A and B are shown apart, each in its own frame.
Chain A
């Protein structure tokens, strides 16, 4: 199985290099092929990682926990690559399209490569390196649209995320110091020795490292109050990149937090790390739920929904019960599929109606016979409606909270998720079902002489089948995860939970 790991860290990078030299048509095919291949490779690891760890080339290692995050990233990579075929098309009179396409596809592949590499590397130091690479590559992708908004979002993103990762680097060094008390002055920060000797680590240094890691990686994960870059970057990036940012990048940082959680839990007991995560998680949920209630921009709306879901993940780990942890890991997978779908749908709406404003997009059901229902279903899935995967995962998290006797917090979680549902569903149903504005008598003259461009231009058609196909795939994944997750996957999740609780 080791060869699969090596393929996963080489194939997307090769695709990125191909994108720099090949013509756009070939690049598209290579990118889609590479995305699907990576997903197949990740799936092929499920069985092996469900029963033990897989290693290759000294610095690569996966266990069940890593494979969960590999699956989420690789699935979205494949979907985003297919979606990009329909999304990245030359607009009329755009002369430098080949240059744009080259940069976009090279960036997309390298971005996916860095996110796949993060769960594959063995050790906290290399993990930090991989997460930093994801930051710089995605910052360039955020800036690619060449608008004032994109430049502003990219600057905020790269500065805040890098400063956060500076703190995460401090966490890495403090953890190294803690480990050096047991493992000797010179060692590599690999997971197994560190976990094996966790009981002997100095508690103060481990606590410090854990808090620094939550603040540092939490910045990239979008935990309140370090989330401020997130809505900007998500709304200004090209849609396939937004989907990857939201569904994969945030959870890759969450993966880093989980690795520190694993060590901290083994070293200082579950109470301290769980409390830290509960505080950040509830703050994120609260702020995101309130921001969702009045958000004029459809992509920012989905970005705040990501903050909300990262909050749910942090709270779920904070509960600490095995059921809640299993729910958290399932949530990572289901959230990737649902958020990907929601961004893909929003991207089609934005393209069709030429605006990101949720008050100007109306009558989507008439204009987009496929995308509009798929978008609505994605938003319902995000709001944890059955039969989708997020219903199952959030149910497990809440039930786990009850099992851990955190009744008040479980109730808070349910209330805030419901508030978020209110915000999301009101806006979405209005966009999908409300008819387009009819000219009122007062401005009839205006309408006759100068028909609003938006009203005139919207015909009933899908912009591209390539943009619908990934949403159908995502919907299938959501239903499978919700109704009957495959047996191998359930085994994988329970093994990952055991690893998190130090029983692996």
Chain B
């Protein structure tokens, strides 16, 4: 029987669960704005975890990283996406290939798979409880479910961004002391990727007058 977790472990696990719950909420978001807002919340939770780890382990660089990711993922990315698609206030409802219930059930199955598989790996010397790593694996897998079951460009792009959140969460657990320069390079890369995703979403929206990817069937074979 494991010892009872302390306040830090408990708090960290709660925040990591919130990251996963935000991912589940994205599966059923019906409005562009909701989807983007959920991503901002999820990024905020990841940044919060970074602050927790920084305080617990005494890694001052992580405060800088947390501040940078809040600025980028909670403020700039949502603004960029909403700014590039100002007249696309159409809802993205009904872009799921299955109903919401089936998608969530599928995601629960996939998340459980990730949770148990990663829990069975043994990672020593991590800076967060290993449950958080298993949750990160679940976030990554549910992000893939999101990209697969939703056929609109916004959900697919947000799926990729939140995939990156899941990887950041995993990074906090097993690679918290990654040098700051590398972390900043990752974040900068993400910014460039977000802008390019935004531009391509805009091109798609202006060509098809919709956010749906249902018409993207020309190229095959």
Chain A residues near B (Cβ < 8 Å): 123, 125-126, 128-129, 132-133, 135-136, 139-140, 143, 148-149, 151-156, 158-159, 162-163, 166, 169-170, 173-174, 176-177, 180-181, 185-189, 204-205, 208, 231-232, 235-236, 291, 295-297, 300
Contact = CB atoms under 8 A, between A and B. Distances in A.
B221 interface: yes
Contact of A129 (B153, B186, B216): B186
Chain B interface, DSSP helix/strand/loop, else mixed: helix
B85 to A, nearest CB: 14
Given A174-B174, A177-B174, A300-B221, A133 B182 contact: no
Contacts of B219: 149, 152-153, 156, 231-232, 235-236
Interface string B179-203: 1011001101100110011011001
A291 B220 CA distance: 11
Contacts of A187: 179
Contact of B216 (A156, A180, A189, A205): A156
Contact of A176 (B124, B159, B178): B178
B199 A140 contact: yes
B88 to A, nearest CB: 15
A155 B163 contact: no
Pick the 5 closest A-B CB pairs, nearest first: A177-B174, A186-B177, A136-B196, A185-B177, A176-B175
B164 A158 contact: no
B167 A173 contact: yes
Contact of B182 (A126, A132, A204, A235): A126
Given A148-B207, A152-B216, A152-B219, 5 more contacts: A125-B178, A129-B186, A139-B196, A139-B200, A173-B174
Contacts of B221: 231, 291, 295-297, 300
B69 interface: no
A143 B203 contact: yes
B27 interface: no
A329 B196 CA distance: 33
Contacts of B189: 129, 132-133
B200 A166 contact: no
B160 interface: yes
B179 A186 contact: yes
Interface of B: 121-126, 140, 143-144, 147, 153, 156-157, 159-160, 163-164, 167, 170-171, 174-179, 181-182, 185-186, 188-189, 192-193, 196-197, 199-200, 203-204, 207, 213, 216, 218-219, 221
30 contacts: A125-B182, A126-B185, A132-B189, A132-B192, A132-B193, A133-B192, A136-B192, A136-B196, A140-B196, A149-B219, A151-B203, A158-B196, A159-B160, A162-B193, A163-B144, A163-B159, A163-B163, A170-B140, A170-B167, A170-B170, A176-B174, A177-B126, A177-B174, A180-B174, A185-B177, A186-B178, A186-B179, A188-B179, A204-B121, A296-B221
Contacts of B199: 140, 143
A173 B170 contact: yes
B182 A177 contact: no
Given A166-B163, A173-B170, A300-B221, A159 B193 contact: no
Contacts, number: 122
Chain A interface, DSSP helix/strand/loop, else mixed: helix
A136 B190 CA distance: 10
Which of A139, A166, A176, A185 has the largest number of chain B CB atoms within 10 A? A166
Which of A143, A149, A159, A291 has the largest number of chain B CB atoms within 10 A? A159
B160 A162 contact: yes
Contacts of A163: 144, 147, 159-160, 163
A158 B197 contact: yes
Nearest to B207: A151
A291 B221 CA distance: 8
A154 B175 contact: no
Nearest to B171: A173
Nearest to A294: B221
Nearest to B61: A186
Contacts of A133: 189, 192
A296 B219 CA distance: 12
A166 B171 contact: no
Nearest to B163: A166
B127 to A, nearest CB: 9
Contacts of B185: 125-126, 129
A154 B178 contact: no
B49 to A, nearest CB: 15
A163 B159 CA distance: 9
A162 B201 CA distance: 15
A153 B189 CA distance: 22
Contacts of A148: 207, 218
A192 B207 CA distance: 49
A166 B164 contact: yes
Nearest to A178: B174
Contact of B186 (A139, A158, A169): A169
A187 to B, nearest CB: 8
Contacts of A153: 219
A155 B213 contact: yes
A166 B160 contact: yes
Nearest to B164: A166
A106 B177 CA distance: 37
Contacts of B163: 163, 166
Contacts of B164: 166, 169
B124 A181 contact: yes
Contacts of B218: 148-149, 152
